[in-house]
Chain A
Amino acid sequence: MRSQLFIVLITGFATWLAVFSCGGANDKISFANDIRPILKSKCMACHGGVRQLGGLSFLFEEDMYKPLRSGALAVVPGNAAESEVYRRVVSDKEQIVMPPAGNRLTERETELIRRWIEEGAKWEEHWAYTLPVKADIPAGAEHPVDYLVGQTLLSKGLFPAPAAAPTTLLRRVYLDLIGLPPPLKVVQTFARDPSEEAYQKIVDDLLQSPHFGERWAAWWLDLARYADSQGYQKDHIRRTIYLYRDWVIDAFNQGMPMDSFTIRQLAGDLLPETTDQDMLATAFHRNTMTNDEGGTDDEEFRVKAVLDRVNVTMEIWQGATFSCVQCHSHPYDPVRHEEYYAVKGYFNNTLDADLTSDYPRIPLHSSARTRVLSALKSKAEQAAISDEEIASLKEAIAELERPLPVPVMQDLPDSVTRVNRLFVRGNWLMEADTITPQPPTTYDKTGKEFAQDRLGLARWLTDGGNPLTGRVLVNRIWAELFGRGIVKTVEDFGIQGNEPTHPELLDWLAVNFTHEQHWRLKPLLRTIVTSATYRQDSRIDSTSYERDPENKWLARGPRFRLGAEQIRDQALAVSGLLNEDIYGPSVMPHQPEGVWNVIRHVARWQTSPDGQNHRRGLYTFFRRASPYPTMLLFDAPPRDLCVSRRIRTNTPLQAMVTLNDPVFVEAASALSERVRKATPDDPKTQIRQAYELATAHPPDDYQTERLQELYLLNRDEMGSDAAAMETVCRAILNLDEVLVKR
Chain B
Amino acid sequence: MKNLTKEFQTRQQAYLTRRQLFRGAAFGIGGMALGMLGCDGPANPHEAIAEGITRGLHLAPHAKRVIFLHMAGAPSQLELFDYKPELAKLDGKLCPQSFLKGKRFAFIKGVPEMLGPQFSFQQYGESRSWVSELLPEFSKQVDNVTFLKAVQTEEFNHAPAQLFMHTGGTQPGKPSFGSWVTYGLGSDNEDLPGFIVLVSGESAPSGGKSLWGSGFLPSNYQGVEFRSQGDPVLYVNNPKGISRDVRRNTLDAIGDLNRREHEEVGDPNTLARIEQYELSFRMQMTVPEATDLSGEPDYIHELYGTQPGETSFANNCLLARRLAERDVKFIQLYHRGWDSHGSNDFENLHGGFKERCKEVDRPMSALLTDLKQRGMLEDTLVVWGGEFGRTPMQENRGGITNPFKGRDHHGSAFTMWMAGGGLKPGLTYGATDEFGYYPTEGAVHVHDLQATILHQLGVDHEKLTYPFQGRDFRLTDVHGRLVKDILG
Interface residue? B112 (CB, 8 A): no
Query: Within residues 641 to 656 of chain A, which ones have a CB less than 8 A from any CB in chain B?
Result: 641, 643, 645, 647-656
Interface flag for A681 (CB, 8 Å): no
Is the beta-carbon distance between A599 and B204 smaller than 8 angstroms?
yes
A235-B208, A598-B203, A651-B35 in contact; A295/B257 too (CB < 8 A)? no
B157 and A295 form a contact (CB under 8 A): yes
Contacts of A730 in B (CB 8 A): 250
A542 touching B266 in the complex, CB below 8 Å, given contacts A233-B158, A295-B107, A496-B470? yes
Q: In whole angstroms, what is the CA distance A496 to B50 when docked?
A: 14
* CB-CB under 8 A for A626 and B266, given A289-B172, A652-B277, A660-B236: no
Interface residues of A in 683-742 (CB under 8 A from B): 702-703, 706-707, 709-710, 713-714, 717-718, 723, 727-728, 730-731, 734-737, 739-740, 742
Contacts A598-B204, A629-B234, A656-B236 given; indicate if A717 touches B249 (C-beta within 8 A): yes
B229 within 8 A of A: yes
B469's partner among A492, A626, A659, A717 (CB-CB below 8 A) is: A492
How far is the CB of B391 from the nearest CB of chain A, in Å?
12
Kindly supply a per-residue 1/0 record for chain A positions 394-423, scoring 1 wherever the CB is within 8 Å of any chain B CB and 0 otherwise: 000000000000000000000000000000
Tell me if A597 is interfacial: C-beta within 8 Å of chain B: yes
The answer to the question of B126 belonging to the interface, with a C-beta cut-off of 8 Å to chain A, is no
Write out the residue numbers on chain B whose beta carbons fall within 8 Å of the beta carbon of A662: 239
In Å, the complex CA distance between A235 and B211 comes to: 14
Interface string of A540-567 (1 = CB under 8 A from B): 1110010000000000000111000000
The smallest C-beta distance from A328 to any residue of chain B, in angstroms, reads 10
- Of the candidates B173, B237, B265, the one whose C-beta lies within 8 Å of that of A538 is B265
Tell me if B23 is interfacial: C-beta within 8 Å of chain A.
Answer: no
Contact B219 A731 (CB under 8 A): no
B146 within 8 A of partner (CB): no
Binds B, one of A170-178, A181-189, A572-580, A632-640: A632-640
A41 within 8 A of B: yes
Partner of B203, one of A593, A599, A665: A599
Q: Are the CB atoms of B469 and A315 closer together than 8 Å?
A: yes
Known contacts: A296-B106, A640-B173. The answer to whether A600 contacts B158 by CB under 8 A is no
Q: How far is the CA of A294 from the CA of B276 in the complex (A)?
A: 44
Cross-chain contact B276 with A655 (CB below 8 angstroms): yes
Given contacts A293-B157, A594-B229, A710-B249, contact A650 B37 (CB under 8 A): yes
> Which of A297, A595, A649 is the one whose CB lies under 8 Å from B219?
A649
Contact B469 A727, beta carbon cutoff 8 Å: no
Query: Taking the complex as formed, is B2 at the interface, i.e. its CB lies under 8 A from any CB of chain A?
Result: no
Decide: A717 and B246 in contact? CB cutoff 8 A: yes
In whole Å, how far is A304's beta carbon from the nearest beta carbon of chain B? Answer: 7
Task: Name the residue on A nearest B205 (C-beta).
Answer: A598
Inter-chain contact B218/A635, CB cutoff 8 Å: yes
- Does B224 lie within 8 Å of A710, measured CB to CB? no
Q: Are A545 and B261 in touch, CB under 8 angstroms?
A: no
Decide: A294 near B106, CB < 8 A? Known: A650-B39, A653-B35, A735-B261. Answer: yes
- Chain A contacts of B283 at CB under 8 A? 652, 656
A593–B229 contact, CB under 8 A?
A: yes
**CB of B267 within 8 Å of the partner chain:** yes
Among A233, A624, A718, max chain B CB count under 10 A is at A233
A331 touches B471 (CB 8 A): yes
Taking CB atoms, residues of chain B closer than 8 Å to A321 are 469-471
Q: Does B321 belong to the interface (CB within 8 Å)?
A: no
**Roughly how many angstroms separate A718 CA and B247 CA in the complex, as a whole number?**
11
- B44 to chain A: closest CB distance in Å? 7
> Looking at B42, B156, B234, B241, which has the most chain A CB atoms within 10 Å of its CB?
B234
Pick the most buried of A484, A496, A498, A601: most chain B CB atoms within 10 A of its CB.
A496
**Interface assignment of B16: CB less than 8 Å from any CB of chain A:** no
Contact A731 B44 (CB under 8 A): no
A707–B37 alpha-carbon span in the complex (Å): 27
B245 interfacial contact with A, CB 8 Å = yes
Tell me if A734 and B34 are in contact (CB < 8 A): no
A540/B253 in contact, CB under 8 A: no
Most buried by B among A592, A659, A714: A659
B193: chain A residues at CB < 8 Å are 653
Check B222 for interface membership: any CB of A closer than 8 A. yes
* Interface contact B44-A498, CB-CB below 8 Å: yes
B273 to chain A, nearest CB (A): 5
**A6 located at the interface, meaning its Cβ lies under 8 Å from any Cβ of chain B in the complex:** no
Residue from A295, A539, A706, A713 within 8 A of B266 (CB atoms): A539
Is A598's CB under 8 angstroms from B208's CB?
yes
Band of interface residues on A: 35 or more
Looking at the assembled complex, report how far the CB atom of B246 sits from the nearest CB atom of chain A, in whole angstroms: 5
Chain A CB within 8 A of B394 CB:
no
Residue of A nearest to B37 (CB): A650
Contact of B280 among A324, A634, A659 (CB under 8 A): A659
Residues of B within 8 A of A594 (CB): 227, 229-230
On chain B, the number of residues with a Cβ less than 8 Å from chain A's Cβ atoms is 92
Q: Smallest CB–CB gap between A79 and chain B, Å?
A: 31
B256 near A592 with CB under 8 A, answer: no
Contacts of B236 in A (CB 8 A): 656, 660
- CB of A588 within 8 Å of the partner chain: no
| B257 in complex: contacting residue of A333, A597, A735, CB < 8 Å | A735
Measured in the bound complex, the distance between the Cα atoms of B156 and A291 in whole Å is 13
Which of B104, B216, B267, B470 makes the CB contact (< 8 A) with A497? B470
Is A494 among interface residues, defined by CB-CB distance under 8 A? Answer: yes
Min C-beta distance of A551 to chain B, whole Å: 10
CB-CB contacts of A273-297 with B at 8 A, as 1s and 0s?
0000000000000000101011111
Closest to B39 in A: A649
**Complex alpha-carbon distance, A640 and B214, angstroms:** 12
Is residue A180 within 8 Å, beta carbon to beta carbon, of the partner chain? no
Q: How far is the CA of A599 from the CA of B203 in the complex (A)?
A: 7
Does A640 contact B171, Cβ atoms closer than 8 Å?
yes
Question: How close is B375's CB to chain A, nearest CB, in angstroms?
Answer: 31
User: For residue A624, which residues in chain B have a CB less than 8 angstroms away from its CB?
Assistant: 172, 208, 210
Interface assignment of B481: CB less than 8 Å from any CB of chain A: no
Which chain B positions have C-beta within 8 A of A470? none
Interface presence of B43 (CB below 8 A): yes
B128 at the interface (CB under 8 A from A): no
Bound-state CA distance A292–B283 (Å) is 39
The answer to whether B203 and A492 have CB atoms under 8 Å apart is no
Q: Does A323 belong to the interface (CB within 8 Å)?
A: yes
The answer to whether the Cβ of A657 comes within 8 Å of any Cβ in the partner chain is: yes
- A15-56 interface bits toward B, Cβ cutoff 8 Å, 1 = contact, 0 = none: 000000000000000000000000001000000000000000
Question: Are B158 and A324 in touch, CB under 8 angstroms?
Answer: no
Q: How far is the CA of A122 from the CA of B269 in the complex (A)?
A: 46
User: Is residue A491 contacting chain B, with contact meaning CB distance below 8 A?
Assistant: yes
> Which residues of B lie under 8 Å from residue A311 when comparing CB positions?
469
Complex Cα distance, B40 from A709, in Å, reads: 35
Top 8 nearest A-B pairs (CB, nearest first) are: A321-B470, A295-B106, A598-B204, A625-B208, A651-B35, A650-B38, A640-B172, A233-B206
Instruction: Apart from A640-B210, A643-B216, A730-B250, list 19 A-B contacts with CB within 8 A.
Output: A232-B208, A294-B107, A295-B409, A489-B43, A595-B234, A624-B172, A638-B172, A638-B173, A647-B41, A647-B217, A650-B276, A652-B277, A652-B283, A656-B280, A659-B238, A710-B253, A718-B243, A731-B253, A736-B261
A-binding residues in B (CB < 8 A): 34-35, 37-46, 104-107, 156-160, 171-173, 193, 199, 202-210, 213, 216-220, 222, 224, 227, 229-231, 233-239, 241-243, 245-247, 249-250, 252-254, 256-258, 260-262, 264-270, 272-274, 276-277, 279-280, 283, 408-409, 467, 469-471
Which A residues form the contact surface with B (CB < 8 A)?
41, 231-233, 235, 289, 291, 293-297, 304, 311, 315, 321, 323-324, 331-333, 484, 488-489, 491-492, 494, 496-498, 538-542, 545, 559-561, 592-595, 597-601, 624-627, 629, 632-635, 638, 640-641, 643, 645, 647-657, 659-662, 665, 702-703, 706-707, 709-710, 713-714, 717-718, 723, 727-728, 730-731, 734-737, 739-740, 742
Q: List 7 A-B contacts (CB under 8 A).
A: A492-B469, A492-B470, A559-B265, A627-B209, A650-B37, A655-B273, A740-B269
